[in-house]
Amino acid sequence: MRGIAILAAAAALFTAQDAFAAGNAEAPKSVDWAHEGLFGTYDRAAAQRGMQVYREVCSGCHGLNYIAFRNLTEIGLTEDQAKVVAAEYTIVDGPNDEGEMFERPGKLSDYFPAPFENEKAARAANSGAMPPDLSLIVKARPGFENYLYSLLTGYGEPPENVELMEGMFYNPYFPGHQIAMGEPLGEDAVEYADGTKATVDQLARDVTSFLAWAAEPTMEARKRMGVKVMLFLIIFSVLLYAVKRKVWADQH
Ligand code: HEC
């Protein structure tokens, strides 16, 4: 009897934890990404548009600490184009010979600068919430790309029975449904250099493609290596089998 009670308690605890872990967030929408699957590669055009979205919209609040300007050649920018992007940022460098920090334009070896001096400043500007660095965000949330896309496109009016806290916005894909980030994307939030129509759906797809690359720039090399290893193993197995037949051919 006691055993059953303990089991029941354990089961209740587990289900409670499950519900908590999921934070009653809605399951993300399912989107087809060009970089999915064994042979998938990043859609360079989408990633470049996504970079534009990040730079013009998200970078006001979110850093991209782990991406250097030189990395941008990996999504198809030429080195000269990456230099132009870098030079549009002001980097604090130093100290110089007088011991002073100084400002200079960015260069290829610099990383995207953070939008706020420190965490306190970031929170003060965002009703107490901290906008996380976006370099690894796609890998850091269950649902990955689909979660980010759903979060960006999922804003809406709260249902009747939901009372929003001060400074919060309704988004069913966010655990708890209330997020301190206001809807960042609106129709034509950026004017795409390549003329693509900037619908909210398009903007969200593009910035997600860009951030998926940022979170795993070496994915394509990893997949290529995986395919090579599989090919090697297949050929090696065939050879081994042939050798085995040859060696045992006259042993009957
Ligand atoms: C005005 C400032 C601001 C802008 C602009 C902004 N965000 Fe945010 N973002 C925030 C804040 C604040 C949070 C923290 C929200 C919270 O914890 O409730 C956040 C959180 C997030 C999160 C984390 C959600 C989670 O699961 O924890 C992601 C992902 C995100 N933002 C992506 C973006 C993207 C992509 C853009 C550009 C399209 C963007 N944000 C633009 C302020 C901003």
8 Å CB contact between 182 and 44: no
Two tokens, residue 9: 């308690």
129-162 per-residue burial string, b: 16 or more CB within 10 A, e: under 16: eebebbbbbbeebebbbbbbbbbbbbbeeeeeee
More confident residue, 9 or 137: 137
Distance 192 CA to ligand 1 centre (A): 21
Distance 122 CA to ligand 1 centre (A): 12
Mean predicted lDDT score pLDDT of the chain: 93
Q: What is the residue type of 39?
A: F
| CA distance linking residue 43 with residue 219, whole number of Å | 13
| Nearest-5° Cα angle at 112, 170 to 45 | 75
Q: Is the CB of 185 under 6 A from ligand 1?
A: yes
Of the listed ranges 21-30, 67-76, 105-114, 200-209, the one predicted with least confidence: 21-30
19-42 per-residue burial string, b: 16 or more CB within 10 A, e: under 16: eeeeeebeebeebebbbeeeeeeb
* Ligand 1 atom at minimum distance from 53 CA: 38
pLDDT in tens, 48-61: 999 999 999 999 99
Q: Is the CB of 129 under 6 A from ligand 1?
A: yes
CB neighbour list of residue 133: distance below 8 Å, 6 or more residues apart: 62, 63, 64, 65, 66, 114
Q: Is the CB of 177 under 6 A from ligand 1?
A: no
Q: Which backbone phi and psi does 128 adopt, to 5 degrees?
A: 90, -10
Of the listed ranges 11-15, 185-189, 232-236, the one predicted with least confidence: 11-15
Q: Is the CB of 138 under 6 A from ligand 1?
A: no
Distance 188 CA to ligand 1 centre (A): 19
| Predicted local distance difference test score (pLDDT) of residue 210 | 98
Distance 4 CA to ligand 1 centre (A): 45
Give the Å distances, CA to CA, from 61 to 7, 67, 120, 223: 47, 16, 13, 33
Q: Which backbone phi and psi does 85 adopt, to 5 degrees?
A: -60, -50
Across 172-201, average pLDDT: 97
3-state secondary structure of 140: helix
Across 63-71, average pLDDT: 97
| Burial class of 203 by CB neighbour count within 10 A (0 to 12, 13 to 18, 19+) | buried
Q: Is the pLDDT of residue 11 over 70?
A: no
